[in-house]
Structure 1
Amino acid sequence: MNEEKLNELRQKVQNLALEYQKKEDFTGWFEVMYTDALGNPEEIPWAKMQPHPCLENWLKTKDITNKKALVIGCGLGDDSELVAEKGANVTAFDIAPSSIEWCKKRFNNSSVNYFVADLLKLDNSWKNSFDLIFESRTIQALPLSIRREVIEAIATLLKPKGTLLVVTRLREIEDIPDGPPWPVSEEELSQLSEYGYEEITRIPYSDPNNPSIKQALIEYQRKRL
């Protein structure tokens, strides 16, 4: 995708997000992006049509066979399919119905349980029930005004001794950044410790389209409830 097109899509995302925030709807714009795309992944700026390379590298040294895994904000399904390929029992959800429909068409013989759900309105039965959670760029896609609620919703889903993988942009100051995306601060990430999480590893990476932006895959283990 050329830089001009990428900038055009970024501007569209920012305009839509602002429009929906004014209506106190923080996620409705995702469905607009997917429906407007008309099946063309090049109209979805975050759709790479392949698993995240940091997830691929992490999985090279891990055995997740028969683990109960969750992919949050699964987009077009590439990360979910990789986790399933490695032997996990995968549940994957997105708030955009068109996203989930797209996943099911792409991977019509998939073992992944794809469905539409709102992270902030998940059933209580999900709490403390997953061995592995993969969250890629979902936290950063939601505004700071609901960030504490978003992190809490994710944190309460994992079993003790389970693993949470977070892929995100990072920011070094607490000032509210322009967005979306809104990079995540260390203070925000420290909220996970309230739910018994300990950071295990942090692997920085660079996006070729944004080499100056600080990004990382962060691995956490939940030591206790």
Structure 2
Amino acid sequence: MNEEHRKNLMQNVKKLASEAQEDGDPTAWFEKLYLDANGDISKIPWAKMTPHPALEDWLIQTNFTYKNALVIGCGLGDDAEKLASIGASVTAFDISPRAISWCNTRFSHSSVNYVVADLLTLESRWKQSFDFVFESRTIQALPIDIRNKVINAVANLVSPGGTLLIVTRLRDTEDIPEGPPWAVSELELSQFHQLGFQEVSRTPYIDANQPTIKQASIEYQSVVL
């Protein structure tokens, strides 16, 4: 992806996200983006058609024994398929019906349970139901004024003693950045500790296309009280 195309994509994302916020529905722009793409992968800025490198690196270093896994904001399904390929029973959801339809078309014989769902209004049966949860770039894609609610919703999915792995941009101050994406601050991440999670590891992630942007994969474990 050349730099001009990347800039055009991000300008479109910012426009859609701004319109959604003005309409009082900050998550509505995801479906709009997938609909406008009309099957053209090059119009989805985060679609790499391969598992996230940070997830793959973490799996190489981990004895993955989790049986019940969840992928939040699964996009076009590559992360979910990776987890399923190593033996996990995987549920993957996205707020966009078009994205989930795309997943089912791409992986028509998949064992992954692809579901249309909204992170902020999930059914109670999902609470603390997954021993491994993967969240890549969903927190940063949602406005800071609902960040506490988003982080609480993510944490609420992990079973006691389970593992949460997030991949996100990081920012060094509490100043509100221009977005999306809205990079995550240390104060915001501290909410996970308040919700009963212990940080196990943090690994810097460098995107070759955006090497100056601070990013990391962070592993948390839900503490059993």
> Structure 2 length as normaliser, TM-score?
0.98
Matches of 1:114 and 1:106, distance apart in 2: 12
Q: Is the 8 A contact 2:66 2:132 kept in 1?
A: no
Unaligned 5+ segments in structure 2 are none
Q: How far has the Cα of 1:64 moved from its partner?
A: 3.3
Moved more, 53-62 or 79-88: 53-62
Matches of 2:59 and 2:175, distance apart in 1: 34
Q: How far has the Cα of 1:65 moved from its partner?
A: 4.4
Answering whether residue 134 of structure 2 is matched by residue 134 of structure 1, we say: yes
Where 1:210 maps in the other structure, the secondary structure is coil
**2:220 corresponds to:** 220
Where 1:32 maps in the other structure, the secondary structure is helix
Matches of 1:64 and 1:98, distance apart in 2: 31
Letter in 1 for 2:123: D
Matches of 2:75 and 2:200, distance apart in 1: 26
1:33-112 alignment runs, 5 A limit: 33-65=33-65, 67-112=67-112
Greater strand share, 1 or 2? 1
Matches of 2:66 and 2:174, distance apart in 1: 40
Answering whether residue 23 of structure 2 is matched by residue 23 of structure 1, we say: yes
* % identical equivalent positions: 61
Where 2:170 maps in the other structure, the secondary structure is strand
Q: How far has the Cα of 1:224 moved from its partner?
A: 2.9
- C-alpha RMSD over aligned residues: 1.0
Q: Is the 8 A contact 2:94 2:117 kept in 1?
A: yes
Matches of 1:79 and 1:47, distance apart in 2: 11
Matches of 1:199 and 1:107, distance apart in 2: 33
Where 1:13 maps in the other structure, the secondary structure is helix
Where 1:71 maps in the other structure, the secondary structure is strand
**1:14 corresponds to:** 14
**1:205 corresponds to:** 205
Q: Is the 8 A contact 2:120 2:150 kept in 1?
A: yes
Matches of 1:28 and 1:88, distance apart in 2: 30
Matches of 1:34 and 1:63, distance apart in 2: 35
> Structure 1 length as normaliser, TM-score?
0.98
**1:3 corresponds to:** 3
**2:169 corresponds to:** 169
Where 2:161 maps in the other structure, the secondary structure is strand
Where 2:177 maps in the other structure, the secondary structure is coil
Matches of 1:208 and 1:198, distance apart in 2: 30
Answering whether residue 184 of structure 2 is matched by residue 184 of structure 1, we say: yes
Q: Is the 8 A contact 1:64 1:87 kept in 2?
A: no
Unaligned 5+ segments in structure 1 are none
